[in-house]
Amino acid sequence: MIFDEIFTGFGRTGSLFACEAAGVVPDIVTLSKALTGGTLPLAATIAGKKVFDAFWSDDPMHALMHGPTFMANALACAAANASLDLFEREPRLRQVANIASALERRLAPCRGLPGVKDVRVKGAIGVVELDRIDDLDGLRARFVQEGVFIRPFGTVIYLTPAFTIGTEELARLTGVVVKVVGDM
Ligand SMILES: Cc1ncc(COP(=O)(O)O)c(C=O)c1O
């Protein structure tokens, strides 16, 4: 079983990894994005011992001969180490829990507005799902006009703030969402 935790890894959904909350131990996990705090591109594929051992060999016919050009890029690895150090020093999961309750509270006014199908929050992910978005580009432009960069897609307006976001910044983002959805 492979868990793609490129987006969810490192706390985004409220637990350090989504597989923990699901109570599942995957054979392989993919990680990226928050691995370096988004500062430099780096991805990692983590395998359990059974999978790892199956590809571990001095025989090139047996080993996983995977060598991308920028593998183990020293600068990106240093950024990842620094970001992981910060994860240990700073209360990331508490920050996520605080963001979750702020998103719950501040997006709640969207509930019941015409055209709103659902409002949901999971960790530091806040979603306002609409029945439909007729003019996606227009909606994106409207957010920019209000001074925030929010990128709706499909029928979903979503917020995935940095865990270090300030209370006022988050209130500004959610405030614009409530305003714009209310105006629609
Ligand atoms: C869940 C998930 N998997 C994979 C990817 C692609 O990752 P990468 O850009 O490192 O190939 C993304 C990118 O947004 C993602 O959100």
Q: Whose Cα sits closest to atom 5 in ligand 1? A: 6
CA angle 143, 182, 165 (to 5 degrees): 50
- Length of the chain (residues): 184
Q: Which two tokens stand for residue 112?
A: 């019941």
Average pLDDT on 21-40 reads: 95
pLDDT at 2: 97
Q: Which residue has the tokens 């183990």?
A: 72
Closest ligand 1 atom to the C-alpha of 32? 10
Across the chain, what does the average pLDDT equal? 95
Pairing of strands 44-47, 116-122: unpaired
User: 128 with 139: CB under 8 angstroms?
Assistant: no
CA-CA-CA-CA torsion sign (57, 59, 65, 67)? positive
- Domain 92-183 coded CATH 1.10.10.10: no
Contacts with 47 (C-beta within 8 Å, 6 or more apart), sequence order: 27, 28, 55
User: 32 with 44: CB under 8 angstroms?
Assistant: yes
Residue 65 reports pLDDT greater than 90: no
pLDDT at 60: 83
pLDDT at 63: 84
User: Where does CATH 3.90.1150.10 sit in the chain?
Assistant: 92-183
Average pLDDT on 83-94 reads: 95
Residue of 6, 13, 33, 156 best suited for mutating to test ligand 1, as the one with most atoms within 8 Å of CB: 6
Residue 62 reports pLDDT greater than 90: no
Closest ligand 1 atom to the C-alpha of 8? 1
Residue 116, SS3?
Answer: strand
Q: Which of 36-45, 58-67, 76-85 has the lowest mean pLDDT?
A: 58-67
pLDDT at 71: 87
CA angle 155, 170, 21 (to 5 degrees): 70
Residue 32 reports pLDDT greater than 90: yes
Per-residue pLDDT band for 61 (boundaries 50, 70, 90) equals: confident
Residues with CB under 6 A from ligand 1: 4, 6-7, 32, 43
Distance (Å, rounded) from C-alpha 122 to C-alpha 127?
Answer: 9
pLDDT at 9: 96
pLDDT digits (tens, 9 = 90+) for 111-163: 989 999 999 999 999 999 999 999 999 999 999 999 999 999 999 999 999 99
Residue 94 reports pLDDT greater than 90: yes
